[in-house]
Structure 1
Amino acid sequence: MAKTKIVVVGAGYAGVFGTKFLSKKLKKNPDVEITLIDRHSYQTMMTELHEVAGGRVEPEAIQYDLQRLFCRRKNVNIVTDNVTNIDKENKVVITENGEYPFDYVMLGMGGEPNDFGTPGVKENGFTLWSMEDAIRLREHIENTVKAASLEADDAKRRAMLTFVVCGSGFTGIEMVGELVDQKEHIAKKNKLSPDEITIKVVEAAPTILNMLDRYDADIAERYLVKKGVEIIKASPIVEVGAEEITLKSGETIPTHTLIWTAGVQANSDAKAFEMESARANRLVANEFLQAKGYEDKGIYVVGDLVYYEETPNTPTPQIVQAAEGTGHYAAENIIAEINGTEKKPYKGNYQGFMVSIGAKYGVACLFDKIHLSGAMSIIMKHIVNLKYFFDIRSGHYMFQYIMHEFFHVKDERNVLRGHSSRNSNVLWSVPLRIFYGLTWLIEAMHKIVGNGEWLKPSTWFGEGSWFTNAVAFPFEWLQEATTGASAAGDGAEATAEAAHQAFGLSYAYGNEPMMVFDHMPKWFESVMKFMMPNQEVALFFQKFMSIFEVLLALAIIFGLFTWLANGVTIALVATFCLSGMFYWVNIWFIPVAFALMNGSGRALGLDKWVQPWVQRKLSKWWYGDVKSRYGQAK
């Protein structure tokens, strides 16, 4: 039996989302083969291109390798190639290097900038619609400011330090926000005054951020004005020159940097498909997202490429929520066709809109009634981005996103204002790591040595240790079993002493130390009863814990898996606190463990060699060998 072939063209939000859904729902169907084709071997997080262009993060922070995204999806083949045409009658996707027959195809090639035929935009302007665009713009900004710092002519210097963004949609305002954040740092780097750098927004409409509620848009506008951004409204640009732009009013603005974000259209490569198109060259689709005129050919259109009017004259918006939604619905309808069930008409679910204005400020409107601004809006944007990684089941890139956005950002350009991203030399934590490890080792050895002599191992494991037949845990249900026997009574006495010595550094000075909890909370008592229902289990646990603490202490001392080891100590301390076996005077164990989780084993510790080796091995086992391109025509 021939396999059912599904081809997805484009690894943007719609393509990745749709492919993930198809792969999950069809994983038990061995007769289905899915092929994902994109000209790049990675997905670009398009909504964060401004962060690369503005120098906040490096390009790799928003590039997600397709092999890593689909590493465990055995029914997905990834191909790095450029689609040139679709043979609709014979149902074949044609690329530069091969041909891919299909039963169903999902076209999600995305969009590209629309300059509306404005003279000079292509030659002299900068767009922000691809990784190449972002890197080119980033380098231009850095080089232009550097050159301006050495320019003696005042007029030319002012023009070089004037940055103009055309368009006040989400992309434009987010780019302006990056320029505002970058202004002080790039000026300092080039020995300039930040006041010499001018940022302007030019908008053809009488208002800005027209996809937002006017309440939120006005908040954003006031913030931009406060930050010194000049907003020029109702002023279309009619020409872009190498060193100036011209407005419809005849006014000229001298500048060497015009960033064009005024419009978006469908990917121009789709013109070769010769399908019915509408405004901005988007391909027309029906309510099931099937290409108009080819409903019987299994051709679906999604993302920025699709033109489907959800209401009269109102097509699906070209935003991430619509891309994910159309990708999901198209995948569902393909599955419905395969299974012979009813297809579902597309219905957009837009939960809100948000725009970041730099790393620390933003505005958002959620569910048409919740208005956020400032840091709360940025936090919400991070939550939305993290949810995307959860939705596509990529824990690897969720972790990478957190590291890039919160811990590896320079110049304090994150919502935590640099508190989480200050680089530090973990060498200075080595003495603390060794001291903390020795503390755990001494406490563990107390449990092993008991009343014996430390320098005579033959006296260990005897009276007073946790290796006798006396239960050391001060839990009532365990002690009740020993009542009435003298030997058991002696054991109980030893137990009480051992419990109070469990973390017993000398308390000779001052008053008797206070326990964190003098008795267990009821809920925790039920947990402990489940784990240690009788003496036999308790005796096993106390021996196991003694040995485990020794190993834990040695791992910390020698810097092996220090993040994990210190995390375990936090959990153990919390357990001992709740068990009534820990003093307030030693509560410093917890903050010290948190401090040592900052890579303390990488300096004078085994983690310097072990962690990179483990990461390489795990990466190769989980993802295989990462390549520059994937797949080929069969």
Structure 2
Amino acid sequence: MDKKHIVVVGAGFAGVAATKKLAKHFRNDKNVLITLIDRHSYQTYMTELHEVAAGRVAPDAIQYDLQRLFCNNKNVDIVTDEVRNVDRKAKIITTIGGSFPYDYLILAMGGEPNTFNVPGVDEHAFTMWSWEDANKIRRHIQDTVEAASNEHDKEKRKGMLTAVVSGAGFTGVELVGELMEWKERLAKDNKLDPSEFSLYLVEAAPIILGVVTEREQKKAEKYMLKQGIQIIKGNGVAKVEKDFVQLADGTVIPTQTLIWTAGVKANSDTAAYGIERAKAGRLVANKYMEAKDSEGVYLAGDLVYYEEPDKDNAPVPQIVQSAEQTGHTAAANIIAAIEGTEKTEHKGIYQGFMISIGSRYGVAYLMDKIHLSGFLAMLVKHMVNLFYFLTIGSGYYFVKYIYHEFFHIKDKRNIFRGHLSRLGNVLWVLPLRVFYGSMWTWEALKKIFGLYGTTSWFGNEIVLPFSWLKEATTGASQAVVPTAATAAHPVFGLSYAYGEEPMMIFKQAPEWFNSIMKVMIPNPEVALFFQKFMTVVELLIGLAIIAGLFTFLANAATIALVISFSLSGMFYWVNMWFIPVAIALMNGSGRAFGLDYYVMPWIQKKLDAWWYGKTKSIYEPGIGK
């Protein structure tokens, strides 16, 4: 087979989905090269733009570096560049930095805001359709609120502390919900009263959130009204000036912050490609996601216009689910074209819609029958986001998402209301860490040297209390191990009380555990080695915890040891505090005057470079560059 060149333009949800599918299918075919071109070196997680715009997560939390996403796909060449022209006859793409011949092309550049030519929007409004947009909004609001805190003119101050969101679809509702929560922090940082802030959600249509049912619409509206958001329906923005917004009925709202989320159209760059266009500049595709009258050119994502026969000929929606599915269809049909197999017709399957209103409340309508709101709706939204990282094979960003949504949060801005936040100082666990490590070290030393009348685990006596080992040994040399049977009147308790005998967790090992131990420790010789080995492990664990080295793994190992000792019939209830202490110390305790402060960053850096390679702001053409 001749070498085939596939070029994918756009690293959004559609472009990444298509590239991943192609890369996986042709992973063992050296005759197929896939080039992914985007003007950024990262994918922007568009569904979280509102979180960056309203200061809930750090800006880099929604940037997913393409090198990290495709480091294991050796047949994918990542290029940071901007497309200037597509010559469909010569099958060549021209970029700022060069040109790329192709046999098959996927255009997945996404969309951009549609202002519908409303006067003043382009000059005075903020849009939210990119990482840059979200950052611009965040900085503007911070600067405007800071300036308002020093403004003596009450009317001007009121306008500065008023924000208007135009458009009550997914993006508008999610953004105004985040702003609603952010105002508390803005007020506190600038010594303002939160009641001075005003938020408006303006919608030209008579309803909000048109993609869900009336049930979700009412719940969302009720929640926003309760939180002080003023909702205006059936009265869209007609004019925008620097200091005010005028609505269709003539109402004037003084504000310096209008955020436009009222519409989307296809990427305007595609107008020059000569492909037939439809409503909002979207490019017309057939049922195989092929561009009309364009051999070898496929379309995916928000720029696609395809009327779905099984959905009353409505065009494919401009949502993440549709973007990924059109990307998969385009990739599947390129595979079919290369291999000469049957093509796949596009069939959109939309599992539901989930809308967050701030970090703690949301509404969802799933599979055309399930209605959710509040905590459950938000939980499902997070689970869907996490599932996305599994579909693209990125464990790195799976973990990063958990950190920035659940652990690295401020002002209680998540569904657990801050209870999982780990932005505390781990210095206070230093005494506990040293004590706990010393305890394990001392226990190991007692077993090594037989201190205070204990039996040495380094001698020739077997101390493990398993029946088959006792039967294999004879004479007085067998050590007597205290058990619940020999203890006088053992009393259950989680702390030791004077005059009581502590109770063992198990009088004897469960049968299923015995069966495992018989395989691991079949005879006295192995038992003696095992005793010595476990003692050394205990000593190393104790020293590691004291020194703050690999504290997560060391404390996890202590939990495993406690479970093992308990099942062996060698552990008391009064010592069960070992487990919660170990869990507490797993929270980065080694970085407080510990070796993990130096070792873990070094290991992470080395592993990162080995697994992902070097991440860059600009990726040049050439695999293995």
Shorter chain as denominator, the TM-score bin is over 0.9
| Cα-to-partner distance string for 1:418-447 (whole Å, 9 max, x where unaligned) | 122252222221111110001111111222
Aligned partner of 1:309 in structure 2 is 307
Structure-2 separation of matches of 1:531 and 1:13: 49
**1:538 positional shift:** 3.1
Contact 2:505 2:572 (8 Å CA) reproduced: yes
Structure-1 separation of matches of 2:481 and 2:450: 10
Q: Which amino acid aligns with 1:9?
A: V
Structure-1 separation of matches of 2:496 and 2:579: 19
Aligned partner of 1:515 in structure 2 is 504
Q: Which amino acid aligns with 1:350?
A: Y
Structure-1 separation of matches of 2:507 and 2:17: 53
Could you say if the C-alpha distance between residues 533 and 353 of structure 1 is closer, same or farther in structure 2, counting changes exceeding 3 Å? farther
Could you say if the C-alpha distance between residues 112 and 530 of structure 1 is closer, same or farther in structure 2, counting changes exceeding 3 Å? farther
Secondary structure, counterpart of 2:135 in structure 1? helix
Secondary structure, counterpart of 1:491 in structure 2? coil
Structure-2 separation of matches of 1:507 and 1:154: 66
Could you say if the C-alpha distance between residues 277 and 536 of structure 1 is closer, same or farther in structure 2, counting changes exceeding 3 Å? farther
Could you say if the C-alpha distance between residues 449 and 109 of structure 1 is closer, same or farther in structure 2, counting changes exceeding 3 Å? same
Could you say if the C-alpha distance between residues 548 and 69 of structure 1 is closer, same or farther in structure 2, counting changes exceeding 3 Å? same
Contact 1:100 1:633 (8 Å CA) reproduced: no
| Cα-to-partner distance string for 1:215-271 (whole Å, 9 max, x where unaligned) | 111111100000011110000211111111111112211111111000111111111
Could you say if the C-alpha distance between residues 633 and 537 of structure 1 is closer, same or farther in structure 2, counting changes exceeding 3 Å? closer
Could you say if the C-alpha distance between residues 422 and 492 of structure 1 is closer, same or farther in structure 2, counting changes exceeding 3 Å? closer
Q: Which amino acid aligns with 2:16?
A: V
Contact 1:471 1:495 (8 Å CA) reproduced: no
Contact 1:440 1:553 (8 Å CA) reproduced: yes
| Aligned pair partner of 1:627 in 613, 616, 622 | 616
Could you say if the C-alpha distance between residues 290 and 536 of structure 1 is closer, same or farther in structure 2, counting changes exceeding 3 Å? farther
Aligned partner of 1:549 in structure 2 is 538
Could you say if the C-alpha distance between residues 533 and 86 of structure 1 is closer, same or farther in structure 2, counting changes exceeding 3 Å? farther
TM-score (norm 2): 0.94
Structure-2 separation of matches of 1:275 and 1:528: 70
> Is residue 559 of structure 2 the alignment partner of residue 570 of structure 1?
yes
> Is residue 607 of structure 2 the alignment partner of residue 609 of structure 1?
no
> Is residue 413 of structure 2 the alignment partner of residue 417 of structure 1?
no
Aligned partner of 1:13 in structure 2 is 13
**1:122 positional shift:** 0.6
Q: Which amino acid aligns with 2:302?
A: D
Aligned partner of 2:471 in structure 1 is 480
Where do residues 345-356 of structure 1 align in structure 2 (5 Å cutoff)? Answer: 345-356=345-356
Q: Which amino acid aligns with 2:469?
A: L
Number of residue pairs aligned between Structure 1 and Structure 2: 614
Could you say if the C-alpha distance between residues 470 and 8 of structure 1 is closer, same or farther in structure 2, counting changes exceeding 3 Å? same
Structure-1 separation of matches of 2:267 and 2:519: 61
Q: Which amino acid aligns with 2:313?
A: N
Q: Which amino acid aligns with 1:310?
A: E
TM-score (norm 1): 0.93
| Cα-to-partner distance string for 1:369-391 (whole Å, 9 max, x where unaligned) | 22221122111111111111111
Could you say if the C-alpha distance between residues 443 and 3 of structure 1 is closer, same or farther in structure 2, counting changes exceeding 3 Å? same
Aligned partner of 2:491 in structure 1 is none
Could you say if the C-alpha distance between residues 567 and 325 of structure 1 is closer, same or farther in structure 2, counting changes exceeding 3 Å? same
Where do residues 149-548 of structure 1 align in structure 2 (5 Å cutoff)? Answer: 149-294=149-294, 297-311=295-309, 312-450=312-450, 464-482=455-473, 485-487=474-476, 490-491=477-478, 493=480, 509-548=498-537
| Aligned pair partner of 1:586 in 575, 595, 605 | 575
Secondary structure, counterpart of 1:493 in structure 2? coil
Percent same amino acid at aligned positions?
A: 60
Aligned partner of 1:459 in structure 2 is none
**1:580 positional shift:** 2.2
Contact 1:264 1:280 (8 Å CA) reproduced: yes
Aligned partner of 2:57 in structure 1 is 57
Structure-1 separation of matches of 2:498 and 2:15: 68
Q: Which amino acid aligns with 2:303?
A: L
Structure-2 separation of matches of 1:380 and 1:164: 29
**1:534 positional shift:** 3.7
Secondary structure, counterpart of 1:93 in structure 2? strand
Contact 2:521 2:527 (8 Å CA) reproduced: yes
| Cα-to-partner distance string for 1:177-212 (whole Å, 9 max, x where unaligned) | 111110111111111111110101110111101111
Aligned partner of 1:559 in structure 2 is 548
| Cα-to-partner distance string for 1:304-350 (whole Å, 9 max, x where unaligned) | 11111113431111111111111122212211222221111111121
**1:114 positional shift:** 0.5
Structure-2 separation of matches of 1:530 and 1:31: 50
Structure-2 separation of matches of 1:521 and 1:110: 60
Contact 2:246 2:253 (8 Å CA) reproduced: yes
Structure-2 separation of matches of 1:633 and 1:427: 47
Could you say if the C-alpha distance between residues 373 and 528 of structure 1 is closer, same or farther in structure 2, counting changes exceeding 3 Å? farther
**1:298 positional shift:** 1.7
**1:626 positional shift:** 1.7
Secondary structure, counterpart of 2:501 in structure 1? coil
**1:492 positional shift:** 5.0
User: Unaligned regions of 5+ residues in structure 2, if any?
Assistant: 488-493
Could you say if the C-alpha distance between residues 379 and 410 of structure 1 is closer, same or farther in structure 2, counting changes exceeding 3 Å? same
Structure-1 separation of matches of 2:163 and 2:113: 19
Structure-2 separation of matches of 1:55 and 1:421: 16
**1:516 positional shift:** 2.0
Secondary structure, counterpart of 1:622 in structure 2? helix
Contact 1:84 1:272 (8 Å CA) reproduced: no
Aligned partner of 2:490 in structure 1 is none
Could you say if the C-alpha distance between residues 322 and 529 of structure 1 is closer, same or farther in structure 2, counting changes exceeding 3 Å? farther
Contact 1:472 1:496 (8 Å CA) reproduced: no
Contact 1:521 1:578 (8 Å CA) reproduced: yes
Structure-1 separation of matches of 2:425 and 2:166: 43
Contact 1:470 1:495 (8 Å CA) reproduced: no
